[in-house]
Chains A and B, each alone.
Chain A
């Protein structure tokens, strides 16, 4: 266990190091610095600014400075929003994003499992077909289209929910639904196929033969085994929800980190792009590690030493 963990953490650190390095050099390769503008700045001011942001150092020293910054969790200033640093932006935006993400995550997991179980229990009946139609649609319609569709129907036409902004619970519903749609569809499909497989197993027949109620069979015997593959999907799921939030937050005007990220791309605010990329990568890589560990804890049949090899 400890050996496996150590190995995983080392690989995780290598991944993160690569991400930070790649981000740094990609951003430095962009022609023009942050102070390139149409206005002629006096050379003294430019030099002072560059000294302030340490841009006058040679590239490798800047790189080590940046690495040091990442390790000590100081991601540098923002170039377009002069008053705030990347750290400020993350601590401002991330709680909102996390709230939205958590809501979407719960919705996706519970909605997806419910749909999948209903479909599997009514295999080849209308419930199954309609659940799978919903799932295929959820997988095929991009979230940004779904989001604008929700806005049009539920906010503009029906007026049930506010169209945008982030001021209370009713503001969170449409974005969460839009964000949760495609992972929910994926989970529904996964759950359904696993449930169908599990329901055909002998121990389910035994449970039926000894006269257990359908509910008991489903809940106690079938779902637990059918859900194992769903746990492996949690890692990619979290990644999907984090990146999916880029557009959803933009469409619904949610003041989260995703919108900040997209804005920084539009403004070409390189330190913010760098900082948020690094931040997102850390979260994702750590989440995926946690999910993998959780998976081995949930399913005792998997030996940790073999798990890394597939």
Chain B
């Protein structure tokens, strides 16, 4: 055995300061969410579907030669063909074209309703949760009373009275729709407002406005965004429901609900007139639901069950 002398050993230089350095990029909350989200194949597929749907709804009516209102009585109720991909309806209008106009309506309604719910809900819930006590009691009681009124009945009643149209549907859907969001926000604020960082901000002199909108709401963003993403499908559903019972947009504007309504009596002989809008409504709501579920799991992995 060879003698080991001191020369055989030499110190590997280790810079202790280097050892403490953080090698990986630090993950913010949202990049962490995005990382978890990417692992969820179903949610990613839904997201791709939604993006594709939005792009197509914007682009397709531009690119195609037909439009959604031109009638052609000689070519009515035609089967899907190279000329009319999804066939034509009882007035000879191109179903493919109408589907994409319907997509515009559905997406407009879904996104706008969700956005308005978000704004009202965040302000209402934020104020109620932050001030607590009397204010909270009164604000949440008002919300409770409004909430007790059946949602679809309110919407139907308003739709009966107001001029039919996309704007009306959005107003009708948001008039009691914000309450769910307000409750979520309030719950979050109640949880957060006694934490140290709020106390720290308060002792630095932050006023109520700054505390609510700069400190509390950003920390509650996860649940807010999840609720938001699940509001969209329910608004799209409500729009198609209303159009289906004849309270939605009026002719000749196409909406998936009105198309299904018109396609229903002809189901036996011209099934494509019902099938295509039905598939699009279901796929869209499905995609938004799955995306929302995935987002919820990604935002709060503890909720995953």
Give the Cβ gap from B77 to chain A, nearest Cβ, in Å: 17
Q: What are 19 residue pairs bridging A and B, where the CB atoms are less than 8 Å apart in the complex?
A: A11-B141, A12-B148, A18-B149, A19-B149, A141-B282, A142-B281, A145-B260, A197-B305, A243-B151, A243-B153, A246-B152, A247-B244, A262-B245, A265-B246, A266-B246, A273-B160, A277-B157, A280-B153, A281-B149
The answer to whether A142 touches B152 (Cβ under 8 A) is no
B contact set with A: CB distance below 8 Å: 141, 144-145, 148-153, 156-158, 160-161, 187, 233, 237, 240-241, 244-247, 260, 264, 267-268, 271, 274, 278, 281-282, 285-286, 289-290, 305
- 17 further A-B contacts with Cβ under 8 Å, apart from A11-B145, A144-B260, A265-B160, are A11-B141, A19-B149, A136-B289, A139-B289, A141-B286, A142-B237, A148-B267, A148-B274, A151-B267, A152-B271, A156-B267, A243-B153, A265-B156, A277-B157, A281-B150, A281-B153, A288-B148
The answer to whether A273 touches B157 (Cβ under 8 A) is yes
The 8 Å CB contact of A193, one of B153, B187, B237, B305, is B305
Give the Cβ gap from B36 to chain A, nearest Cβ, in Å: 18
The 8 Å CB contact of A140, one of B241, B260, B264, B286, is B286
Which residue of chain A lies nearest to B274 when distances are taken between CB atoms in the complex?
A148
Give the Cβ gap from A51 to chain B, nearest Cβ, in Å: 26
Which residue of chain B lies nearest to A194 when distances are taken between CB atoms in the complex?
B305
Residues of chain A in range 1-53 having any CB-CB distance to chain B below 8 Å: 11-12, 14-15, 18-19, 22-23, 26-27, 29-30
User: With A and B bound together, what is the CA distance between A141 and B279 in angstroms?
Assistant: 9
User: With A and B bound together, what is the CA distance between A192 and B286 in angstroms?
Assistant: 19
Give the Cβ gap from B296 to chain A, nearest Cβ, in Å: 12
User: With A and B bound together, what is the CA distance between A197 and B303 in angstroms?
Assistant: 11
Query: Chain A residues with Cβ under 8 A from B278's Cβ?
Result: 145, 148-149
User: With A and B bound together, what is the CA distance between A239 and B151 in angstroms?
Assistant: 9
User: With A and B bound together, what is the CA distance between A262 and B148 in angstroms?
Assistant: 22
Known: A148-B274, A246-B245, A280-B153. A156 touches B285 (CB 8 A): no
Residue among A29, A140, A281, A288 having the largest count of chain B Cβ atoms under 10 Å:
A140
The answer to whether A251 touches B149 (Cβ under 8 A) is no
The answer to whether B153 touches A277 (Cβ under 8 A) is yes
User: With A and B bound together, what is the CA distance between A77 and B252 in angstroms?
Assistant: 35
Give the Cβ gap from B250 to chain A, nearest Cβ, in Å: 13
The answer to whether A145 touches B158 (Cβ under 8 A) is no
The answer to whether B245 touches A250 (Cβ under 8 A) is yes
User: With A and B bound together, what is the CA distance between A196 and B148 in angstroms?
Assistant: 31
User: With A and B bound together, what is the CA distance between A192 and B304 in angstroms?
Assistant: 12
Within 8 Å of chain B (Cβ to Cβ): is A291? no
User: With A and B bound together, what is the CA distance between A139 and B145 in angstroms?
Assistant: 27
The answer to whether A26 touches B158 (Cβ under 8 A) is yes
Known: A142-B240, A265-B247. A23 touches B157 (CB 8 A): yes
User: With A and B bound together, what is the CA distance between A105 and B245 in angstroms?
Assistant: 23
* SS class, residues of chain A in contact with chain B: helix
The answer to whether A14 touches B145 (Cβ under 8 A) is yes
Known: A197-B305, A247-B245, A281-B149. A136 touches B286 (CB 8 A): yes
The answer to whether B148 touches A144 (Cβ under 8 A) is no
User: With A and B bound together, what is the CA distance between A27 and B157 in angstroms?
Assistant: 8
Known: A142-B285, A197-B305, A285-B148. A26 touches B267 (CB 8 A): no
Which residue of chain A lies nearest to B141 when distances are taken between CB atoms in the complex?
A11
Query: Chain A residues with Cβ under 8 A from B289's Cβ?
Result: 136, 139-140
User: With A and B bound together, what is the CA distance between A184 and B247 in angstroms?
Assistant: 27
Give the Cβ gap from B79 to chain A, nearest Cβ, in Å: 17
The answer to whether A148 touches B260 (Cβ under 8 A) is yes
User: With A and B bound together, what is the CA distance between A54 and B240 in angstroms?
Assistant: 38
The answer to whether B241 touches A247 (Cβ under 8 A) is yes
User: With A and B bound together, what is the CA distance between A18 and B142 in angstroms?
Assistant: 11
Within 8 Å of chain B (Cβ to Cβ): is A121? no
The answer to whether B245 touches A140 (Cβ under 8 A) is no
The answer to whether B148 touches A11 (Cβ under 8 A) is yes
Known: A144-B260, A148-B267, A148-B274. A243 touches B148 (CB 8 A): no
User: With A and B bound together, what is the CA distance between A32 and B169 in angstroms?
Assistant: 22
Which residue of chain A lies nearest to B155 when distances are taken between CB atoms in the complex?
A243
Give the Cβ gap from B171 to chain A, nearest Cβ, in Å: 13
Which residue of chain B lies nearest to A283 when distances are taken between CB atoms in the complex?
B150
User: With A and B bound together, what is the CA distance between A273 and B264 in angstroms?
Assistant: 25
Contact pattern, A 248-259, Cβ under 8 Å of B = 1, otherwise 0: 001100000000
The answer to whether B145 touches A243 (Cβ under 8 A) is no
Within 8 Å of chain B (Cβ to Cβ): is A137? yes
Give the Cβ gap from B281 to chain A, nearest Cβ, in Å: 6
Query: Chain B residues with Cβ under 8 A from A197's Cβ?
Result: 305
Which residue of chain A lies nearest to B240 when distances are taken between CB atoms in the complex?
A142
Query: Chain A residues with Cβ under 8 A from B240's Cβ?
Result: 142
Within 8 Å of chain B (Cβ to Cβ): is A224? no
Within 8 Å of chain B (Cβ to Cβ): is A92? no
The answer to whether B282 touches A26 (Cβ under 8 A) is no
Which residue of chain B lies nearest to A14 when distances are taken between CB atoms in the complex?
B145
Known: A142-B240, A142-B281, A243-B153. A15 touches B161 (CB 8 A): no
Query: Chain B residues with Cβ under 8 A from A242's Cβ?
Result: 150
